[in-house]
């Protein structure tokens, strides 16, 4: 779906994203050496936390600014600019790893629901989900319900944390509509913060790891009083809404 010549999304990709809330980028986002460097940083971080997924893998760039080399890279920003526009802030990042055989389910959710009240708008926030491992249906790849990014906030219900990463999930999802994001290492998906998405548990013998890189248009205002200790970077262009960027 993407244009290898200029490593940007085509107009068809952007139109699909606008209508459906996601698009897939089947080219390699980074060169082989740079992708290997990112993978090595993940392995180092994973080892540090005992090779188990926990909250320490959230916002890893706060502790390890080597990751800014990737998060602020032209390869990524060129990809999201057609979606967000020229003024781009780095919102967050997260290593997400589902261990072989025991990786829990990611229940149906909207990213925006977990950030409610922290920004003043959610219409121009995009997540790049970069595959570090091969991501398949068998090992719990991400899946989305197309077009749900225009529905507003959904209703949630409680679920068991023994089987789920989160304690809540969106009610009454028609899973027959789900689109699965199967990716090779180095490929990525891009999804709107408001789209309904999740992932099945990893019951395969293969690990599934990805790096989420989250960006927002600087037309949105990040509310400092609702984000204590949280750091954002001006990734490209200018600050429109008057945000507390660490590098402004």
List, for residues 35-57, the tens digit of each pLDDT value: 999 999 999 988 887 776 555 58
243 found inside a domain: no
Q: What is the pLDDT of residues 211-235, one digit of tens each?
A: 999 999 999 999 999 999 999 999 9
248 found inside a domain: no
How much of the chain, in percent, has pLDDT values that exceed 90?
85
Structurally, the chain folds into a number of domains equal to 1
pLDDT of residue 56: 54
Q: Is the pLDDT of residue 248 over 80?
A: no
Full-model pTM: 0.93
Looking at residue 54, which CATH number applies to its domain?
A: 2.60.120.620
Residue linked to tokens 């940007």: 8
**CA–CA gap between residue 235 and residue 65 (Å, rounded):** 14
pLDDT of residue 156: 95
**CA–CA gap between residue 42 and residue 152 (Å, rounded):** 34
232 found inside a domain: yes
**CA–CA gap between residue 246 and residue 55 (Å, rounded):** 23
């Amino acid at each position: 779906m993407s244009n290898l010549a200029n490593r940007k999304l085509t107009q068809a990709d952007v139109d699909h994203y606008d209508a459906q809330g996601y698009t897939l980028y089947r080219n390699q986002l980074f060169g082989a050496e740079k992708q290997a460097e990112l993978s090595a940083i993940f392995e180092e971080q994973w080892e540090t936390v005992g090779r188990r997924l926990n909250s320490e893998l959230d916002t890893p760039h706060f502790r390890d600014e080597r990751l800014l080399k990737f998060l602020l890279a032209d390869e990524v920003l060129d990809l999201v600019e057609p979606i967000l526009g020229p003024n781009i802030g780095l919102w967050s990042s997260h290593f997400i790893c589902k261990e072989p055989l025991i990786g829990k389910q990611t229940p149906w959710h909207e990213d925006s629901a977990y950030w409610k009240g922290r920004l003043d708008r959610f219409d121009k926030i995009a997540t790049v989900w970069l595959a570090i491992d091969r991501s398949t249906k068998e090992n719990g790849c991400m899946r989305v319900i197309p077009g749900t990014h225009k529905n507003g906030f959904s209703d949630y219900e409680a679920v068991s944390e023994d089987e789920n990463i989160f304690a809540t999930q969106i009610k009454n999802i028609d899973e027959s509509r789900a689109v699965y994001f199967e990716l090779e290492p180095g490929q990525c998906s891009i999804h709107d913060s408001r789209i309904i998405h999740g992932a099945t548990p990893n019951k395969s013998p293969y690990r599934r790891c990805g790096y989420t890189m989250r960006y927002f248009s600087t037309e949105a205002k990040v509310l400092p009083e609702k984000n204590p200790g949280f750091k954002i970077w001006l990734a490209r262009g200018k600050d429109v809404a008057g945000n507390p960027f660490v590098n402004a």
